[in-house]
Amino acid sequence: MPVDTLITSENDTDIELDFAGDEDFQENHERQKHKGKRRNGDRPKNKRENQRRKRSSKSVQGIREESQSTTERRERRRRQRGKAEHETSGHQGNKGERDQTRVKTTKSKKNLKNEKTRKLEGKEDGEAQERSEKGKLKPVCAKNEEKIESGDQLKEKEKALGVKKKKKRKKVVETSSEPETSEESEDEEEVNNDGEVRPELLSPEELEKLKEAVDEKKKLIQSLRGKPWPMKQKLVTLRESQLFVEKYEGALGKGKGRKLYAYKVMMTKKWKKFQRDFENFKTACIPWEMKIKEIESHFGSSVASYFIFLRWMYGINMILFGLTFGLVMVPEALMGRPYGSIPRKTVPRAEEAGAMDFAVLWDFGGYAQYSVLFYGYYNNQRAIGWFKFRMPLSYFLVGVGTVAYSYMVVIRTMARNANESGVGDDNSFNFSWKMFTSWDYLIGNPETADNKFASITTSFKEAILEEQESRKDDNIHLTRFLRVLANFLVLCCLAGSGYLIYFVVRRSQKFALDGLENHTWWERNEVNMVMSLLGMFCPMLFDVISALENYHPRVALQWQLGRIFALFLGNLYTFIIALMDAINLKRKEEKVVKYNITMWEASLYNGTGSENSTAPPVTIHPADVPRGPCWETMVGQEFVRLIISDTMTTYITLLIGDFLRAVLVRFLNHCWCWDLEAGFPSYSEFDVSGNVLGLIFNQGMIWMGAFYAPCLPALNLLRLHVSMYLQCWAVMCCNVPQERVFKASGSNNFYMAMLLVILFLSTLPAIYTIVTIPPSFDCGPFSGKNRMFDVIQETLESDFPAWFSKVFSYASNPGLVLPFILLMVLAIYYLQSTSKSYREANVELKNKLQMQNEENKKKNKQAALKAQMDLEEARKSACQTAELQRNNNASVQRREDDEEIYNKNQRMYHVRNPSPSVGDREPHFPVRGPAPRNCHNGNHGNPRYLPGFHQQSEPRMYRVPSLERH
């Protein structure tokens, strides 16, 4: 009989099944590997399947006369199987979602088997075989069904869909591959052959169901993260559901829609890949990103944070440079009057001889002084060039704009960082923080990892000690005393360095009065030298002193930064005060010169007038014209010199302190009496705080001096560029990772805050000079004006329509300005108070969350206790009712079998099946029951009828999860 033929093959199929499964697995594997080219990867599979189909169709052809019966058989078989599935699903509806996936796999296996059987059935002649073979099928089925043990409704649905889906897929595959391999009649036949199956498969209901299943899977993938499963299971489920979605998504469309869909899928995948590549490309485009990452992996994020800061600074300076270069220097150089045309653009006769000497140029005198690099070169001509470029206005606005831009950027970055830092850490979970957050995941170097490991262990030890100490609380006085002492020492040091600078500045003024030519280079550059040296050595001293205080390194770093900040600030302000003195001196000199010049001019004209009144005025070479001491240029020069000497000291320190030391240590170690590497000189560590502050103060000087020396941003850009490469190299080649590697995530905003303070402090003197001191009479773009900002008024008056200047004058009326400022203050106050209230609300919410958490914990504990008790009760009752159930067994079994089995296998099935499904379970119930249930408590919302179970025990069993779910 046909059914028998079908069954005979089972023996083989079982073996083949495994193989097929393997193949399937391989395919999956392949697909995972080639995620990018998934589309292409699919094609071979399709072909393979197609070939398989072809083979089967051939065989079918061979036994065409039997085809009718085979289809019949197939139908019947499917029906039977579907029923069995229905049963089983109705059966053990409580197995949890974990089975869901397994079901699917078994399902697919079964389907494959189905296919295989069909194939094989063709080959083997459709004669009836021994009945015993039937028996072989049944166990297989039973096994499958046992495996299935499916769960909830979702599961059921899927299962119901299972077979159809499979077929669907096959069909899809066939149809899609048809155009590719459409030559032979066999194909057509195959289509015909399958056509018998197709119509029912294509029904919209099924499609709908399929769609639903796919959607469900998608949902599952999305919600997977929150599911309370073990990670392994999650991974398996995720993979399988992804595969499922991938497989069937394409089948959803019809005809053109499907192609379009496939195209869409392909495009989305390509788009994703492109996006990923683009991200990579963007990363590659970020300047020095790879370098910084490498450093980060070697030295931890604190060192890397310096380099990131350096890069950020570079970006800002780029824009400052663009502004000054594009709007001030280039226009003046291209469109302004050429060199030598007027006195301010010419080297005076007295300096002409040595104007090209390197020493002079190095000091930014000579030709360098009389060039676009400095304030004095610019002419006060209102508009230059053929398109009337307003040079003085541009100069002024660029000066203001650079500062304004810097303020904006710094404040914006600070705000962004503040957002990133979030609510901040609280000290309530000190050890948890240490436990879960202390590792720096960016470390990629074993040595640094070792250091980090050691530092974490020591930090744990220290934290434990601290915890103990805080209870003892006896050593606190000593610590306090030491901290006060350290601060006292630091203050002494600061005072000493301040006095030294003051002394040097006074001396230099004396030298200046004497005339600089009489003194050596050392004496002339004394101020810069002393400032650089102090700035270099004092931080080292602070560092040594701060060892007394015994702070956490992060805190210590901030103290260190604060101290160095104070030092640098003191130095800078001493320098500025000295400059102010120099300015006053120059202005006195200027008055004299001005008077002299008028006298000189008068004498000149008088002389010419007396000789010949009609003769044209004598032309004097601009180099010979007497001129005032341009204090603005002097200030600019001082700043440029300071920057240069600062840069030089930095680089030389780097080379000597780091590189030379490293070389000595490395190569003298072979022939030295102690271990140089581990002992005395050792290699140097990267000094984050000093470098950051150096950078910040450097920037402050740029902001201060950029108004008087437009070349400063360019110089700074050069310096930053060089120091980026030099320091990257130096760090990688001659520094060792810090002994206490710590994360610097919190310190970035600290840098920014310092930068802001420096910005403010550095704009202060610049604005002061601009506002209070009248510009020199014969140099610079504002010469001849009373104040530098008069240029705005002038522009308003002459370049704008009258009404505009009127409006402006009204707007600048104090009666309008004051209310406006008041409004602004009010707005700031309002914003601040709202932010404060938000913060409070945040804290409150946090507390609430914490409370809730604790409450939940308590509840869970209670529930667990209760559940345990219930469980025990249930166990007892189960034992009691076990006997009762045994009595019911026979009837239940019979009913079940009637439903399930209606063909010739009935007897075999009857014998074999009950043992796993019913007979097995009953006696062991107390043992088997609870175990899986406890694992999967999420899915048993509604207890359903289980044929094998006793009704009474069920509700009790389900109370466990329902309680735990609170």
493 near other proteins, judged by CB under 8 A: yes
| Nearest in space to 359 (alpha carbons), one of 525, 198, 132 | 525
CA distance 208 to 164: 12
In sequence order, the 6+-apart residues with CB closer than 8 A to the CB of 127 are 4, 5
Cβ nearer to other proteins, comparing 384 with 527: 527
685 φψ region: left (φ > 0), alpha (ψ -120 to 50), beta (else): beta
Instruction: Output the smallest distance, CB 317 to other proteins, in A.
Output: 29
Cβ nearer to other proteins, comparing 523 with 581: 523
Cβ nearer to other proteins, comparing 189 with 677: 677
Among the candidate windows 65-73, 543-551, 613-621, 792-800, which touches other proteins by CB under 8 A?
A: 543-551
CA distance 251 to 259: 10
Of 540, 733, 843, 869, which lies in the binding site for other proteins, with binding defined by CB under 8 A? 540
677 near other proteins, judged by CB under 8 A: yes
Question: Per 3-state DSSP, what percentage of the chain is helix, strand, and coil (rounded to 5)?
Answer: 80, 0, 20
In the structure encoding, which two tokens stand for residue 810, read together? 């009204």
| Nearest in space to 925 (alpha carbons), one of 880, 864, 960, 888 | 880
CA distance 802 to 809: 11
577 near other proteins, judged by CB under 8 A: no
What secondary structure letter does DSSP report for 125?
-
Residues that bind other proteins (rule: CB under 8 A) add up to a total of: 30
Cβ nearer to other proteins, comparing 271 with 680: 680
673 near other proteins, judged by CB under 8 A: yes
Among the candidate windows 101-109, 178-186, 495-503, 944-952, which touches other proteins by CB under 8 A?
A: 495-503
φ, ψ for residue 389 (rounded to 5)?
-75, 125
Of 161, 295, 403, 545, which lies in the binding site for other proteins, with binding defined by CB under 8 A? 545
| Nearest in space to 920 (alpha carbons), one of 150, 149, 82 | 149
- In this structure, the number of other CB atoms found within 10 A of the CB of residue 193 comes to 21
Query: By rule CB under 8 A, what string of x and - marks binding of each residue 102-131 to other proteins?
Result: ------------------------------
Among the candidate windows 21-29, 92-100, 529-537, 696-704, which touches other proteins by CB under 8 A?
A: 529-537
Cβ nearer to other proteins, comparing 360 with 541: 541
522 near other proteins, judged by CB under 8 A: yes
Of 84, 120, 530, 960, which lies in the binding site for other proteins, with binding defined by CB under 8 A? 530
Query: By rule CB under 8 A, what string of x and - marks binding of each residue 496-515 to other proteins?
Result: xx--x--xx--x--------
Of 14, 294, 523, 920, which lies in the binding site for other proteins, with binding defined by CB under 8 A? 523
Instruction: Output the smallest distance, CB 496 to other proteins, in A.
Output: 8
In the structure encoding, which two tokens stand for residue 779, read together? 């140099």
541 near other proteins, judged by CB under 8 A: yes
CB–CB of 775/707 below 8 Å? no
Cβ nearer to other proteins, comparing 200 with 450: 450
In sequence order, the 6+-apart residues with CB closer than 8 A to the CB of 917 are 88, 91, 92, 142, 145, 146, 896, 948
Q: What is the 3-state secondary structure (H, E, C) of 791-812?
A: HHHHHHHHHCCHHHHHHHHHHC
Of 678, 733, 845, 869, which lies in the binding site for other proteins, with binding defined by CB under 8 A? 678
Q: What is the 3-state secondary structure (H, E, C) of 192-226?
A: HHHHCCHHHHCCHHHHHHHHHHHHHHHHHHHHHHH
Query: By rule CB under 8 A, what string of x and - marks binding of each residue 610-649 to other proteins?
Result: ----------------------------------------
CA distance 248 to 243: 9
Please, which residues bridge with residue 685 across strands?
736
Instruction: Output the smallest distance, CB 295 to other proteins, in A.
Output: 25
CA distance 197 to 203: 11
In sequence order, the 6+-apart residues with CB closer than 8 A to the CB of 436 are none
Instruction: Output the smallest distance, CB 447 to other proteins, in A.
Output: 12
- In this structure, the number of other CB atoms found within 10 A of the CB of residue 272 comes to 12
Instruction: Output the smallest distance, CB 527 to other proteins, in A.
Output: 9
Cβ nearer to other proteins, comparing 665 with 957: 665
Cα-based angle 287, 293, 295 (whole degrees, multiple of 5)? 110
CB–CB of 726/291 below 8 Å? no
CA distance 860 to 820: 59
Instruction: Output the smallest distance, CB 522 to other proteins, in A.
Output: 5
Cβ nearer to other proteins, comparing 112 with 662: 662
Query: By rule CB under 8 A, what string of x and - marks binding of each residue 642-671 to other proteins?
Result: ---------------------------x--
Instruction: Output the smallest distance, CB 669 to other proteins, in A.
Output: 6
Q: Is the four-CA dihedral 396, 401, 404, 407 of positive or negative sign?
A: negative
Q: Where does 124-254 have alpha helices with state H?
A: 131-148, 153-177, 185-195, 198-201, 204-223, 231-249
Cβ nearer to other proteins, comparing 350 with 678: 678
566 near other proteins, judged by CB under 8 A: no
Cβ nearer to other proteins, comparing 534 with 901: 534
Instruction: Output the smallest distance, CB 539 to other proteins, in A.
Output: 9
544 near other proteins, judged by CB under 8 A: yes
Cβ nearer to other proteins, comparing 84 with 504: 504
Among the candidate windows 222-230, 523-531, 695-703, 944-952, which touches other proteins by CB under 8 A?
A: 523-531
CA distance 651 to 726: 8
235 near other proteins, judged by CB under 8 A: no
Q: Three-class SS of residue 431?
A: helix
CB–CB of 135/79 below 8 Å? no
518 near other proteins, judged by CB under 8 A: no
Of 675, 855, 873, 898, which lies in the binding site for other proteins, with binding defined by CB under 8 A? 675
549 near other proteins, judged by CB under 8 A: no
Cβ nearer to other proteins, comparing 537 with 800: 537
Among the candidate windows 87-95, 169-177, 387-395, 521-529, which touches other proteins by CB under 8 A?
A: 521-529
Among the candidate windows 102-110, 413-421, 445-453, 489-497, which touches other proteins by CB under 8 A?
A: 489-497
- In this structure, the number of other CB atoms found within 10 A of the CB of residue 243 comes to 19
Query: By rule CB under 8 A, what string of x and - marks binding of each residue 338-377 to other proteins?
Result: ----------------------------------------
- The distance in angstroms from the start CA to the end CA of the chain is 58
Of 17, 384, 534, 688, which lies in the binding site for other proteins, with binding defined by CB under 8 A? 534
Of 358, 441, 674, 803, which lies in the binding site for other proteins, with binding defined by CB under 8 A? 674
Cβ nearer to other proteins, comparing 458 with 832: 458
Of 87, 145, 156, 526, which lies in the binding site for other proteins, with binding defined by CB under 8 A? 526
In sequence order, the 6+-apart residues with CB closer than 8 A to the CB of 188 are none
Q: What is the 3-state secondary structure (H, E, C) of 693-713?
A: HHHHHHHHHHHHHCCCCCCHH
> C-alpha distances in angstroms, 260 versus 212, 246, 267?
20, 15, 10
Instruction: Output the smallest distance, CB 609 to other proteins, in A.
Output: 53
Cβ nearer to other proteins, comparing 176 with 451: 451
Query: By rule CB under 8 A, what string of x and - marks binding of each residue 679-698 to other proteins?
Result: xx------------------
Site residues for other proteins per CB under 8 A: 493, 496-497, 500, 503-504, 507, 520, 522-523, 526, 529-530, 533-534, 537-538, 540-541, 543-545, 669, 673-675, 677-680
